[in-house]
Amino acid sequence: MVGRVFHAPLISSVEGLELAAVMERTSDNAAKRYPGILTYRSLDAMLADASLGLFVVATPSQSHFQVASQILRAGKHVIVDKPVCTRAAEIAQLMELAKAHKAHLIPFHNRRWDSDFQTIQKLLREGSLGRLVYFESRFDRWRPDPPTDRLWKEDPASGGVMLDLGTHLADQALVLFGKPEAVSAEILCERDWARACDSITLRLRYPGFSVVLGANCLSTPSRPRFHLRGAKGNYWKSGLDPQEAALNKITRIDDPDWGKEPAAEWGTLHVDIDGSIVTRPVEPIPGDYRLYYAGVRDALLGKVPAPVTALAAWRVARLLEWASESSDKRREIICDWSEEPKLAE
């Protein structure tokens, strides 16, 4: 699903990139959607194709380290879907491999290019809320039944919701606010049949304000996607960025209004002006995941740094490990960022 919905349509929509080949062990689904591409039955065969310079790893999370390692050892550039690995130490090893083989290791943290996240960055830059005191970011869903596909996600080794949605939540928080001082967390299995965690609440401590990140599979209706409180007012945003749902129906992006949200789903800003609360909708910045792949293209050409660094993925993974430790020990964990890899990006 990840290759079909996210990567193939985006690669096909960015000038300077070509969707040239896909690895499918037994089927030819990709070639039916993209006539003219090559289909390989093994990674070894795909790596032997000298014409391929950039590989995308969209396999189950537990296999990311092994697959990405093989690609980097072949001297190929690699994009790895989130989570890059299930452990921070494995990401550090991949960073070493990338450095040794002079290859790019670029995490696919695409939700930096969500409409709502881009809009929140703008509001914070403008100081629309005044001094920020509280930031909440959530991915709540109603999925009470066991899945009929992607069963690998129910393997505890996958990391469950923690490494799936939690990776996006943590990455966005780190982009906005940098490295927190400490983290406390509750990580649960709430559905009767669940084996991998399906509910998370993380509290990140920053000087002067707090950040709450959450996700679960038993929320209906869902709570707002974002809630920000500041000295001047609040911002509320419900709903999800529309790009994933749209990508599920297409093979390339041709819509000139791509990433725009309907006015009914815009967030609202509530600001105190002279003692009265003034409420207004905030027109969002359109989301555009193509910007990620355009950044990858330009990074491979040596024009700009990678759109997401491998070190950023390590920080996310380490933060989530501290959160897991907090949940196990039922106490706040101080974040020791001095242990992060000292590698040139």
DSSP 49-115: -TT--EEEE-S-GGGHHHHHHHHHHTT-EEEEESSS-SSHHHHHHHHHHHHHTT--EEEE-GGGG-H
Check residue 148 and give its pLDDT: 82
User: How many residues belong to the chain?
Assistant: 345
Overall average pLDDT of the 318-334 stretch: 98
Report the C-alpha gap between 182 and 286 in whole angstroms. 33
Reported as a single tens digit per residue, the pLDDT across 118-147 is 999 999 999 999 999 999 999 999 999 988
Single pTM value for the model: 0.96
Which ranges in the chain belong to alpha helices (H)?
2, 8-11, 29-33, 43-47, 64-73, 88-100, 115-126, 160-177, 243-247, 290-300, 310-329
Report the C-alpha gap between 169 and 167 in whole angstroms. 6
Beta bridge partners of 280: 269
pLDDT bin (cut points 50, 70, 90) of residue 109 is: very high
Q: Is residue 124 within 8 Å of residue 176, measured between CB atoms? A: yes
State the CATH class of domain 115-286+321-327: alpha beta
Reported as a single tens digit per residue, the pLDDT across 286-312 is 999 999 999 999 999 999 999 999 999
Tell me the percentage of the chain whose pLDDT exceeds 70: 99
Q: How far is CA 146 from CA 62, 152, 310, in A?
A: 20, 12, 33
First to last CA, the chain: 30
Tell me the percentage of the chain whose pLDDT exceeds 90: 94
Q: How far is CA 202 from CA 163, 184, 210, 320, in A?
A: 13, 6, 10, 9
Overall average pLDDT of the 26-37 stretch: 94
Asked whether residue 345 carries a pLDDT value surpassing 60, the answer given is no
339 compared with 150, residue with greater pLDDT: 339
- DSSP SS3 for 278: strand
Quickly count: other Cβ atoms within 10 Å of residue 29's Cβ.
Answer: 13
Check residue 343 and give its pLDDT: 64
Overall average pLDDT of the 80-100 stretch: 97
Provide CB contacts within 8 A for 46, sequence distance 6+.
21, 23, 40, 52, 55
Nearest CA among 238, 155, 167 for reference residue 200: 167
Name the amino acid, one letter, at 234. N
Report the C-alpha gap between 133 and 156 in whole angstroms. 35
Mean pLDDT over all residues of the chain? 96
Asked whether residue 150 carries a pLDDT value surpassing 80, the answer given is no
Q: How far is CA 276 from CA 232, 270, 272, 343, in A?
A: 11, 10, 5, 51
Domains of the chain, by residue range, sit at 115-286+321-327
Report the C-alpha gap between 13 and 253 in whole angstroms. 6
Quickly count: other Cβ atoms within 10 Å of residue 100's Cβ.
Answer: 11
Check residue 323 and give its pLDDT: 98
Q: Among 62-71, 156-165, 225-234, where is mean pLDDT lowest?
A: 156-165
Reported as a single tens digit per residue, the pLDDT across 214-251 is 999 999 999 999 999 999 999 999 999 999 999 999 99
DSSP letter at 191? S
pLDDT bin (cut points 50, 70, 90) of residue 344 is: very low
Q: Is residue 138 within 8 Å of residue 225, measured between CB atoms? A: yes
Reported as a single tens digit per residue, the pLDDT across 161-181 is 999 999 999 999 999 999 999
- Residue 235 CA, distance from chain mean position: 22
